[in-house]
Amino acid sequence: MSSWTQGYVADIGYTYGYYSELCPIKANLALLHVGNSLSQQGDHCELGFGQGLSINMHAAASGDRWYGTDFNPSQVSFARELAQVSGADVDLSDHSFAEFAQRTDLPQFDSIGLHGIWSWINDENRSIIVDFIRRKLKVGGLLYISYNTQPGWGAFAPMRHLLAQHTEVMGTGGQGIVGKIDGAIDFAERLLATNPAYLQANPQITKRIERIKGQNRQYVAHEYFNQDWEPMHFDDMHKWLSPAKLEFVCSAHYAEHIDEVNITPQQQQFLKQISDKVFRESTRDFMTNQQFRRDFWMKGARQLGARERGDAIRAQRVILTTAPAEIKYQLKGSRGSFNVGDKIYEPILNSLANYQIKSLGEIEKELASQQLDLSYLVKVVIALTSGGYLAAVQSDERMVKAQSASEKLNAYIFQQVGGHIDYRYLASPVTGAAVMVDRVEMLFLAAYHQKLESQQAWAEFAWKILAERNHVLLKNEKYLETAQENLAELAELAAKFASTCLPAMRALQVIA
């Protein structure tokens, strides 16, 4: 009898991550940027939802109906607990993809998403997923899919195979998956110390092993040690999805939309000479040495006319998610990090000051005297979105519908801040998505939620929880040792939180 895990790592839980690309609302700006029609909101599906943080955040924050499955029952149990708390309209099962695809009670979906699944399953499951998408995604529906990509994995793929082989051949049952992983990494380091010809041809492998050694073992187990692991060329992905009548629309990774930080001017001109869209994407992956793609595909993708596109762009509303003072005037891409001049960001940041919700049309009118055309405005908005500083806003009706579930889910997370799960995300009914906060900000928000009014009280609340967990703060690359030092630093952070993070969280309706 075959294992129910089908070669997928199941004896260690997946990380409690959140993946914003799965949010259909966030897709709007990317789709409009490339002149594509928008997908509809209504019924959505996530395949392989892991711990279920993304699907629960999106169900609570959007007010839409969500369906999902994950084969790991312990993860489904956790995800259902979150769903029960929020009361959001979400249906979560522990079915295999084959079982889920056979359900007769599923609607036609406006969007289907899968993150961190495709490269780690076998061809049988890939075929089941493609057929499911073919049958259940509406015409005009959106598919989000991420996967490991060639040529970026070309150098490391042999080492990954050796690591996985070591756990099978040299690992023992009593070690557990973490022990097996540590043993494999140790073996790799000892192997590389012999200076094999493989390392001489691929000198970057040493740094890669060092990075893996320091990563969370939950992530490492699921990334590198599944039985099935296949980086895929873009052209191969296109061949897989064509039977489902899907067409590639654009990258779901907003930084990829800014050519200047990813490919050189010479490379941009080279790509313009390639008329075939699929071959152009394949070629671009060689320019960036692409290792991981996050893509939007549509069934019945439709290019908008100039006037229709302009109207849709102008109607799209946005909001800042970060205090302007905290925004870094930098853009990051495959070519590195580039500074952005004040004149590029500041006009739009000034227009959106105090976290006002505005349409791009309203911003365009305000900046008319500066002669900034709509295409330029969209490009800057894309850049700000790529940095996590700005987000698309859903309709007022949807905000109202999502408010109760978002409040309940966030209240539950605030209650859990001292527990074993390090929550970093909260639901926003304004954006229909989640907002990321750091560990200390989460503690301050929990204190504020408990009606603690003074900044000193926030600092003391945070220190009590940190001390109970034997955690201390890091300042100027030095750990603070005494309670007095930590409290003093927390007091400074609380003052900064009050002026930056808290106003943003109120505007995003993360907290009242």
State the burial class of residue 494 (Cβ atoms within 10 Å of its Cβ: 0-12, 13-18, 19+).
buried
> What's 20-151+231-299's CATH class?
alpha beta
Q: What is the pLDDT of residue 174?
A: 65
Work out the average pLDDT over 503-509. 97
**Model confidence at 171, in pLDDT bands (50, 70, 90)?**
confident
pLDDT at 398: 95
The pLDDT assigned to 2 comes to: 40
- pLDDT value for 244: 97
Distance CA 257, CA 473 (A): 37
Residue-wise pLDDT tens digits, 390-400: 999 999 999 99
- Amino acid code (one letter) for 497: F
Q: Which tokens is 47 given?
A: 């395949």
Q: What is the H or E stretch that residue 392 is in?
A: strand 390-392
User: 49-92: per-residue pLDDT in tens?
Assistant: 999 999 999 999 999 999 999 989 999 999 999 999 999 999 99
Residue with tokens 């294992």: 3
Cα torsion at 331, 333, 337, 341 (round to 10°)? -30
Task: Provide the whole-model pTM.
Answer: 0.90
- What would the mean pLDDT of 376-397 be, rounded to a whole number? 95
Cis peptide before 243, with omega less than 30 degrees from 0?
A: no
Region 358-372: what's the mean pLDDT? 92
Instruction: Tell me: pLDDT of 175 over 80.
Output: no
451 in helix, strand or coil? coil
Q: What is the number of alpha carbons within 13 Å of residue 60 lying toward its C-beta?
A: 31
CB 163 within 8 Å of CB 188: yes
Residue 183: both structure tokens together: 């043993």
Q: How far apart are CA 1 and CA 443, in angstroms?
A: 48
The pLDDT of residue 7 = 44
DSSP 8-state class, residue 232:
B
Q: What Å distances lie between residue 41 and 59, 161, 308, 323, 350, CA to CA?
A: 12, 41, 19, 29, 31
Residue 301 identity: A
Residue boundaries of the structural domains of the chain: 20-151+231-299, 157-224, 318-392, 443-512
Give the number of C-alpha atoms closer than 13 A to the C-alpha of residue 129, restricted to the C-beta side: 27
Q: What confidence tens digit (pLDDT) does each residue in 427-443 have?
A: 999 999 999 999 999 99
